[in-house]
């Protein structure tokens, strides 16, 4: 019986230690990219820090410019993103 108790304690400790730090959903950072032509909103992420998200924005801008996007704006947000990765205004 004592062995079963130790096994349970081991499983509980393992589960606690393998959970990500600050494991609340909605703590991730997202890059929101809006374009006027075509009218779209793109979401990139999630990232662990605001700096990590910010450091990746240049690549997104260059890629969208190559595809012909106009008037690109960037917004870095913390929290949950929309359910879609690309939103369209139709």
Q: What is the pLDDT of residues 1-31, one digit of tens each?
A: 777 767 677 677 766 777 665 555 568 899 9
- How many CA atoms does the CB half-sphere of 57 hold within 13 Å? 18
Q: What is the pLDDT of residues 68-82, one digit of tens each?
A: 999 999 999 988 766
Query: pTM for the full model?
Result: 0.62
Return all residues near 41 (Cβ < 8 A) that are at least 6 apart. 32, 33, 34, 35, 82, 86, 87
4-9-19 Cα angle (round to 5)? 140
């Amino acid at each position: 019986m004592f062995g079963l108790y130790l096994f349970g304690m081991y499983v509980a400790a393992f589960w606690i230690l393998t959970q990500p730090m600050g494991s609340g959903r909605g703590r991730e950072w997202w890059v929101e990219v809006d374009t006027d032509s075509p009218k779209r909103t793109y979401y990139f992420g999630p990232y662990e820090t605001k700096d990590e998200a910010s450091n990746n924005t240049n690549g997104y801008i260059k890629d969208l410019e190559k595809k012909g996007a106009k008037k690109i704006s960037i917004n870095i947000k913390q929290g949950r993103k929309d359910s879609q990765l690309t939103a369209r205004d139709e």
